[in-house]
Copies of this chain bind each other. A is one copy, B any other.
Amino acid sequence: MLESLYLNLGQHDALSDAEKALLVGAMTFERHFATGQDIVASGSRPTYSTLILDGLAARYKVLEDGGRQFTSLQVAGDFVDLHAFLLKTMDHGIVALSPCHVVFADHSRLRAITEEAPHLTRLLWLDTLVDGAIHREWIVAMGRRSKTSHLAHLVCELFVRLQVVQRTNGMSFHLPLSQAELADVIGLSVVHMNRVIGALRKIGVVSWANHTVTILDWHKLQEIAEFDPTYLSMTREPR
Contact = CB atoms under 8 A, between A and B. Distances in A.
A64 interface: yes
B144 A63 contact: yes
Interface residues of A, number: 50
Copies in the complex: 2
Interface string A139-172: 1101111000000000000000000000000000
A92 B136 contact: yes
Interface in A185-210: 186-187
B140 A139 contact: no
A173 B182 CA distance: 38
A89 interface: yes
A42 to B, nearest CB: 9
B72 A136 contact: yes
A230 B92 CA distance: 10
25 contacts: A61-B136, A61-B137, A61-B140, A63-B226, A64-B226, A69-B139, A86-B239, A87-B130, A87-B133, A87-B233, A88-B237, A88-B239, A91-B136, A91-B228, A91-B230, A114-B118, A114-B121, A128-B128, A131-B132, A132-B132, A132-B135, A135-B135, A135-B138, A142-B143, A143-B184
Given A69-B139, A83-B129, 5 more contacts: A63-B226, A92-B136, A135-B135, A143-B184, A143-B187
Closest 7 CB pairs of A and B: A143-B187, A135-B135, A142-B142, A71-B136, A132-B132, A67-B144, A91-B231
